């Protein structure tokens, strides 16, 4: 059996848990560890000290252009500021 996975992300606030999982995976699979993700499916990743920001500006811009609504008016939708998911 051959299994090929492109772009597997392991995300956890506990670095030790990530390292343990990577070690388990290495015992069964050949793994190539790359650098931090900067862009993925048109989402930009910005790494700060204790958090990661995901910015979808390019994705949103492309969708507006694709559906020919780039010049439409926007409306404000109230949402809690600085919400953490």
Model confidence, pTM: 0.46
- Can you tell me the distance from the alpha carbon of 32 to that of 44, in angstroms, rounded to the nearest whole number? 22
pLDDT in tens, 18-54: 889 888 888 888 877 767 777 777 788 888 888 888 8
Helices (H), 29-81: 57-66
pLDDT band at residue 67 under the 50/70/90 scheme = very high
Per-domain residue ranges for the chain? 35-70
């Amino acid at each position: 059996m051959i299994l090929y996975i492109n772009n597997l992300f392991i995300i956890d606030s506990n670095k030790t848990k990530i390292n343990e999982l990577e070690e388990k995976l290495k015992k069964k699979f050949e793994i190539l560890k790359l650098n931090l993700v900067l862009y993925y499916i048109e989402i930009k990743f910005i790494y700060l000290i204790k958090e990661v920001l995901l910015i979808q500006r390019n994705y949103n811009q492309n969708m507006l252009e694709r559906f020919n609504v780039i010049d439409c008016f926007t409306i404000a939708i109230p949402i809690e500021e600085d919400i953490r998911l």
